Structure 1
């Protein structure tokens, strides 16, 4: 039985990856800064919390990482930890840089120090590319990060590449474009849109206040994307891969699909507020995931319209359950 340690198990990707690895017969260890105090509500939502061995590990602390690796001796480590909001990174740049780049460096160095045959997956981000205009970004596209989050992810990417080349570690980065699900917190714009629209459909008189709705992104389905993470660590040689659908849509298109699912005209309920604009932002994000299809045999199963529909259906179901409990 293979053993996997997932750092950042409490997040969206950590929960879906845990479920996937369990289905492949893994013994799964879920790392969190304080495993005794964390709620792990995403694991509970998927009905797998009792199947995960939860461990306290602070990846910003080298000793904590080293002790954890020596104790568990995992075959695979998935680094999904760190501050994950682009918007929040403008308010907390130091915390963002430390939690992502220092955490990644500690994992790499601890693996090198133990000399255990551990394979490392690092969660990269399409934000590192910055604005590529209409050009689809692939694994050879230069990084021009435009947020503290993107700067941190770019630094972590090069740390992984350097340890792979200099120390022959099996370490790779998945450069993931936007991937959504009902497990996203509401500070993420797609979840905010879905949650607010569903409340409006149930009679709420509120408005949906957003920033720039003209931005365009490549949106995929998170449970599908964690399969790519796992596939990267099953290859003979470590490498980096862009993971995306290859289809880009404007945020207002996502909004329209969500409101259409609810039988509403989005323009009646949405307002734009300059206070929600970011200091610097990416106008459009385009991706070329051909390498992942060719080498990993992976391609996105769902596009933006499917993602919006899935999230609306889940949110309505959640509201109905809450209503029945209150009755």
Structure 2
């Protein structure tokens, strides 16, 4: 039975990945931060077979203990301070966890592997936010990185550190440059879930409007459940490489609103959506769209869930959840 260790288990990617690996017969371990983590109960309920280890990406000794106890064949580093807007307010914390945390995890893997650097296969969760002020459309593995947020800068550091450990020590270390991927498990602070939940509440008469920032920003949105399969496929390759994972389609926030409101039978949402400068980014990333030709060719990976299906899935989930919460 192969063994895997996941950081960031409480996020949507960690939950979907743990389910995937469990279904494939893996002995799945995960690092969870803090003894009173508010999402601990969720993880234990959804993933009762996953063995949890207390640790923190900013604490190398805790990562080394987790490596020793889990004895993993594969490590998936998904842990990060991942809310972009938060990164401007807490740039140092974001840098420590999202950037230096990668170095700590890589070092823990290297020390555990000892004289056999490829003993453990390592996956690093890189991000399309690294492209920032995009220098080419669409973006692929060779596109110049120009991050536009502290989060993006921290992800670039982790991305290049992964490449450096691969080239310096011969580690089987791959990075997945994942474009935006969403699901019903997405946190409510992210724009897709903010929209799906608000639309559900508006439809149910529980709120009157939603307040947004820039409606013209465009993103390449896919389903998180599809994207974790690409992570696994990367670590099954003979050679470690970096891959862009995306749908190759771009949609604006306006189109997101169109799809979400249309799903509940509302065609004209103009009076239901307000805009507030507080929700505008200091430096906006206007257009992200990925070229996943390499992943298609080498991994045999393609997304299965369309943008419209993804939005419908999220709105349906929030309709059900809000009905229960409101006692409807």
Structure 1 and Structure 2 fold alike (TM over 0.5): yes
Task: Name the SS of the counterpart of 2:192 in structure 1.
Answer: helix
- The Cα offsets for residues 133-185 of structure 1, whole Å up to 9 and x where unpaired, read as 67100000010000000000000000000000010001111000000011111
Q: Is the 8 A contact 2:148 2:283 kept in 1?
A: yes
Distance (Å, rounded) in 1 between the aligned partners of 2:324 and 2:52: 29
- Compute the displacement of 1:30 (Å): 1.6
Task: Name the SS of the counterpart of 1:90 in structure 2.
Answer: helix
- Compute the displacement of 1:13 (Å): 0.4
- Compute the displacement of 1:247 (Å): 0.3
Q: 1:65 aligns with which of 63, 66, 81?
A: 63
Q: 1:227 aligns with which of 226, 229, 239?
A: 229
Q: Is the 8 A contact 1:134 1:284 kept in 2?
A: no
Q: Is the 8 A contact 1:35 1:55 kept in 2?
A: no
Distance (Å, rounded) in 1 between the aligned partners of 2:35 and 2:179: 29
What is the 5 A alignment of 1:74-89? 74-89=72-87
Distance (Å, rounded) in 2 between the aligned partners of 1:228 and 1:210: 32
- Compute the displacement of 1:270 (Å): 0.5
What is the 5 A alignment of 1:102-181? 102-115=100-113, 117-132=119-134, 135-181=137-183
- The Cα offsets for residues 182-223 of structure 1, whole Å up to 9 and x where unpaired, read as 111111011011111110100134211000010000000011
Q: Is the 8 A contact 1:157 1:173 kept in 2?
A: yes
Q: Is the 8 A contact 2:135 2:143 kept in 1?
A: no
- The Cα offsets for residues 88-138 of structure 1, whole Å up to 9 and x where unpaired, read as 101110000110111110111122222251111000000001122671000
5+ residue gaps in structure 2? none
- Compute the displacement of 1:274 (Å): 1.0
Give RMSD over aligned pairs.
1.5
Q: Which piece of structure 1 moves more, 259-268 or 152-161?
A: 259-268
5+ residue gaps in structure 1? none
- TM norm structure 2: 0.95
- The Cα offsets for residues 224-263 of structure 1, whole Å up to 9 and x where unpaired, read as 1000001000000100000000000111101110000011
Distance (Å, rounded) in 2 between the aligned partners of 1:134 and 1:154: 17
Distance (Å, rounded) in 2 between the aligned partners of 1:35 and 1:28: 19
> Which position in structure 2 is the counterpart of 1:282?
285
Distance (Å, rounded) in 2 between the aligned partners of 1:106 and 1:22: 26
Distance (Å, rounded) in 2 between the aligned partners of 1:207 and 1:145: 32
Q: Is the 8 A contact 1:133 1:284 kept in 2?
A: no
- Compute the displacement of 1:43 (Å): 3.1
Q: Which piece of structure 1 moves more, 152-161 or 63-72?
A: 63-72
- TM norm structure 1: 0.95
Task: Name the SS of the counterpart of 2:319 in structure 1.
Answer: helix
> Which position in structure 2 is the counterpart of 1:272?
275
Distance (Å, rounded) in 1 between the aligned partners of 2:34 and 2:262: 41
> Which position in structure 2 is the counterpart of 1:30?
30
**Aligned CA distance change for structure 1 residues 290 and 194 (closer, same or farther; 3 Å):** same
